[in-house]
Amino acid sequence: MTFACDSGFLERLRLSISRLSSVSGHHETTAAVEHEPHSPTPSLSPVIIGLGVTILAFGILFGLMLIALGAVILVIGLATWLIDDARAYVAAGDPTGHGGH
């Protein structure tokens, strides 16, 4: 089985692609100011959350006491993660330089 290639089709496709790229703005060389990528600080919070979920899952099999213990550890892990994230957010400041004050 062979396919005939219409050169007119290829030309129309090339023109369509160039038209789309000119409309999308990806071809522009003047880029906006780029900020450094955010990399979170190392934290034990995900490990605590994983431990809490694991104990909670074993509690479903073995009893209410493990469910309660797993839920408490899970909430502690979530709270420490949110507190760490809030501290990092405050420490980072406004990256755009448009402070509210």
Are the beta carbons of 48 and 70 closer than 8 angstroms?
no
Listed residue (49, 48, 66) closest to 57, CA to CA: 66
Are the beta carbons of 41 and 84 closer than 8 angstroms?
yes
Q: Specify the pTM.
A: 0.56
Confidence of residue 41 (pLDDT cuts 50, 70, 90): confident
CA-to-CA distance for 58 and 69, rounded, in angstroms? Answer: 10
Are the beta carbons of 68 and 59 closer than 8 angstroms?
yes
CA-to-CA distance for 10 and 5, rounded, in angstroms? Answer: 8
pLDDT at 34: 72
Share of the chain above pLDDT 90, in %: 40
